[in-house]
Amino acid sequence: MRLLDQLDLPGDLAGSSPGQLRRLAAEIREEIITTVSRVGGHLGPSLGVVELTIALHAELHSPKDRIVWDVGHQSYPHKLLTGRACDFATIRTRGGLSGFPKPSESDHDAFGTGHSSTSVSVGVGLAEAARISGGPDPGRVVAVIGDGALTGGMAYEGLNQAGHLQTPLIVVLNDNDMSIKKNVGAMSTYLSRLRTDPHLYRLRRDFERRVQRLPGIGERVHAVGEQFKDGVKGALVPGMLFEELGFTYIGVVDGHEIESLRANIRRALKVDGPVLLHVKTVKGKGYGPAEDAPERFHGISPFSVATGKTKPGGPKPMSYTEAFGRALVALAHEDERIVGITAAMAAGTGLDLLEAAFPRRFFDVGIAEGHAVGFAAGLAAAGLRPVVALYSTFLQRAYDQVIHDVCLQDLPVVFAIDRAGLVGEDGPTHHGAFDLSYLRAVPGLTLFVPRDEADLQRLLATALSMDGPVAIRYPRGAGLGVPLPDPLTPLPPSGPWVEVLEEGAGVLLLAVGTGVGVATGAAASLRQSGVTATVAAVRRVKPLDREALLPLLRTHGAVVTLEENAVRGGFGSGVLELLQEEGLLCKVGLVGLPDDYVPHGDIAGLHREIGFCPEAVAARALALL
């Protein structure tokens, strides 16, 4: 019988022998590999922190002591050690465990995460709240953050505040030289030096001990004070940056040696103030294919454990992401001003194709979406044509820069918004549910929604021919398999921005993006009920094409709008605004994502649950009629 099933976890970890903990680590790895091979998920990050998670839970008393997992990609061992081993096979499936920390799922999940670089700020808040509240034993707070997340500015804001307040917070730097792919930037170079020269830390400690023992000199060193200490730090102290921020730096510690980890965690717990524990880990540790290809195994679909290869499926059309990447490379061949920017998501956004073709015109800024947009604004102000490729849910993190740095300046920056709409098993932290709503409110921004991959390529060419800011939002996954445009030319200023696909007399179905396919399916269902529907695909959501839409709205007494976006403030709201401005009266039904956070699960199943499917839309239309 497995220790994972025998022990009362996490409480029994403190008294377990080193041999038992190593055996437990092997069992956890086997469980994670087996489960993720079946349902997919974040394999490499979780395999890399197995020993670290065991050590933390062996020295802490969760949930009184709270662990905040930055992003949460690496939380699978934590789930297995906190009472969820029996349910672990359900992870990322509808009604099962979330793939991220979720307080409603367990008291051991101190905070819900899914986006990067937030853990330090949250940890400072939790620790300071405990200090304000008082109490005899408020517990300790640990923030576990990866070196990739240290490319995000919010992490430094949290470090700065913790150092200023001398917050009793332990920050565990999980350093594996990776985010999703190889890290970039000056911080990565700095950490690489610390990682490859751990003897510097031992040298500094030995030096300090020996100086203190010298008769008379030790006292003089103390008296000389900060100037001498700063000189010693500059020459000998790895982690000087963190020490200057007010942290006690401990490291570099082998993240796969449980006893060493436990000893250093105990040491950190004795410090009355902020501590940074620098831990070196290997992403994908314990599974050869994941160690050899950490980027591919960061998040992976079901695969064969024996070979590491993903399980074959049927042939699929080109994905929207690839269609975007190919079109951008083709357009970059024609216009040397075009540059691409992403935030640690080159392959996920298709910009890896631009990187291969034009490496000097590709920029990966790390997990720093606000900087990505501000950087793009500077490039555009200097005459270039930047394309910022981000996931919808991550562009939310740069909203101020979109408004202030780009749109207020009326700069020609193109936002390529991937993963718009529901993304499936990653759930509410990653669903692209709000971009139409939060972008439609921004003056001066043109907002395109393609209905297929060919439309995406045409609209990208159109956006790069325009003089102001443009956003294009499109879904995750395979396109529709339609022929791609050749040659790739922009649409004229007049559009067409609204295309009537089917003509009818009963109800008007106005759809954008993935809603177009749902609308045509609903029209077929309505025909069986004796109702003919007009189906129109809208390419430009902001500004709406009034000349094309008003004749349609005036000739139909019932309208249903369809969008894979929150219905509050989205495309349907824009249609309602147009009706109000024109004084038109008709029955309107808005179909989209509910005013709630859609859970995780397979996309088709989620669509059925929320009524974003032909049958539900047809029923809605009949109810209006």
Which residues carry out catalysis?
A: 283, 369, 397
Structural Rg of the chain based on CA atoms: 27
Q: Looking at the DSSP assignment, which residues form a beta bridge with residue 144?
A: 69, 172
Tokens 């631009």 sit on residue: 354
For residue 321, what are the CA distances in angstroms to 317, 449, 567? 11, 14, 25
- Phi, psi values for residue 173, rounded to 5°: -90, 105
In 461-586, beta strands by DSSP E:
470-473, 498-502, 507-511, 533-538, 540-542, 558-566
Q: Looking at the DSSP assignment, which residues form a beta bridge with residue 534?
A: 508
Bond prior to 63 in cis (omega within 30° of 0): yes
What amino acid occupies position 235? A
Q: What is the DSSP letter of 336?
A: T
Comparing CA positions, the residue from 79, 244, 66 lying closest to residue 141 is: 66
For residue 597, what are the CA distances in angstroms to 52, 371, 610? 32, 27, 11
- Residue 327 host element (H or E): helix 320-334
Comparing CA positions, the residue from 293, 214, 255 lying closest to residue 56 is: 255
- Report the chain's terminal Cα–Cα distance, integer Å: 63
- Could you tell me the maximum CA-CA distance found in the chain, to the nearest angstrom? 101
Cβ neighbours of 579 (radius 10 Å) = 18
Cα distance between residue 390 and residue 387, in whole Å: 10
For residue 88, what are the CA distances in angstroms to 95, 305, 320? 12, 17, 32
Alpha helices (runs of H) in 140-276, residue ranges in sequence order:
153-165, 186-196, 199-213, 217-224, 226-236, 240-244, 258-269
Cα distance between residue 353 and residue 362, in whole Å: 10
